A = this chain, B = another copy of it.
Amino acid sequence: MIKAGIIGSTGYAGGELVRILTGHKDAEIKWYGSRSYIGKNYADVYRNMFQIVDASCMDDNMEELASQVDVIFTATPQGLCASLVSEDILSKTKVIDLSADFRLKDVHVYEAWYKIEHKAPQYIEEAVYGLCEINREAVRKARLVANPGCYTTCSILTAYPLAKEGLIDMSTLIIDAKSGTSGAGRGAKVDNLFCEVNENIKAYGVATHRHTPEIEEQLGLAAGEDVVLNFTPHLVPMNRGILATEYAALKKDVTWDEVKAVYDRCYGNEKFIRVLDENVCPETKWVEGSNYVDIGFKIDQRTGRIILMGAIDNLVKGAAGQAVQNMNLMFGLDESEGLDLVPMFP
């Protein structure tokens, strides 16, 4: 039985980790960290867990935690994991960081986009970018995994095979993404009040959103060239789900079947990636509560562009589900253990 500790267990991603690990047959949660609710019953914070979780919230003592558990999940804002991690901790336990601290390989890029100093740059190289379908083998051996962002998981996986096989002109790639509101976190802000979000849609972070360099880095690695792109996130009045609509010029004339074959070469054996049939567009509702990535695409002969669409549940494949998928890999378990979550409709 893998002993797991969660730092930040009362955020939405942390709560989802608890939900998923509760149904995982080879793991048990030993530490429900939450600086905001220290000493409070976890089930009093998340009442869905009443009579399911019987534990109190603990402080963020990573040293102490490292001595008690096999794996630590940090579901906290950027900066925290980097400020706490150490050789001592990594020698005792594995760390899966759901924040951005170890996702970018260039510390200057990190510091430029996140506007904070990186406290543990010495681990950046060692850290494995935990997009399981791309870095599976490296994840298996990792001590420290940087769990990808929600927008980035969706954006990268949707375009990855085409970038890798050189099908699209990377300089033309534009990603227009739409996210449910749980992605904004559980902080008490006027902007996230029901009446401000409901019956509304807006773009935000235009040309400045921090997930941009992460997408650029990973798609750049796939394409074998530097990638600079536009990424625009939007806030949608729904709890969960991300839809990424991506536009790029095709480098050559291709048919739907040929593009499908490109996806199949990459993802043919991937359980959690579903490339949809022709003329079917992904909908976030069809993946809700599950670890699936649904991908569809359409070739526009008139403009010479391809339009890619990817959908995930931002809290599952975009956060907690992928973290558990990484944990499974790191501990040699079946990759889908605890993740056989059938999407819930409606």
Measuring CB to CB, which residues of chain A are less than 8 angstroms from any residue of chain B? 12, 15, 19, 22-23, 46-52, 172, 174, 176, 178, 180-182, 186, 188-190, 192-204, 206-207, 228-230, 232, 234, 236-241, 243, 245, 247, 274, 276, 280-290, 294, 298-300, 302-303, 305, 307, 309, 311, 340, 342-346
Q: Are B283 and A200 in contact (CB under 8 A)?
A: yes
In the bound assembly, the distance between CA atoms of A201 and B238 in angstroms comes to 9
Return the contact of A232 from the options B240, B302, B307 (Cβ within 8 A). Answer: B307
Query: Would you call B199 and A238 a contact (CB within 8 A)?
Result: yes
Chain B residue numbers with a CB within 8 Å of A49 are 342-343
Q: Are B193 and A188 in contact (CB under 8 A)?
A: yes
- In the bound complex, residues from chain B placing their C-beta under 8 Å from that of A234 are 178, 243, 245
Distance in Å: Cβ of A329 to nearest Cβ of chain B = 21
Using CB atoms, name the residue of chain B closest to A229: B303
A285:B194 contact, CB within 8 angstroms: no
Return A291 CB to nearest CB of chain B, in Å. Answer: 12
Instruction: Give bound CA distance, A118 to B282, whole Å.
Output: 34
Partner of A188, one of B23, B172, B188: B188
| Residues of chain B with a CB closer than 8 A to A204's CB | 281
- B47–A286 CB distance below 8 A: yes
The 7 closest A-B pairs by CB, nearest first: A48-B343, A200-B285, A195-B346, A202-B283, A207-B300, A194-B197, A176-B176
Q: A198-B239, A203-B281 are in contact. List 18 more A-B contacts (CB 8 A).
A: A46-B345, A48-B290, A50-B294, A176-B176, A181-B194, A182-B346, A192-B195, A193-B193, A199-B241, A200-B238, A201-B241, A201-B243, A202-B243, A202-B284, A206-B298, A229-B303, A230-B305, A234-B243
**B48 contacts A286, CB within 8 Å?**
yes
Please give, as numbers and ranges, the residues of chain B lying within 8 Å of A46 by CB-CB distance.
345
B346 touches A276 (CB 8 A): no
**Interchain CB contact (< 8 A) of A340 among B23, B200, B299:** B23
Q: From known contacts A51-B274, A188-B188, A195-B182, infer whether A202 and B281 are also in contact, taking CB-CB under 8 Å.
A: yes
**Is the CB–CB distance between B207 and A176 below 8 Å?**
no
Check if B239 sits within 8 Å of A199, measured CB to CB: yes
* B240 close to A346 (CB less than 8 A): yes
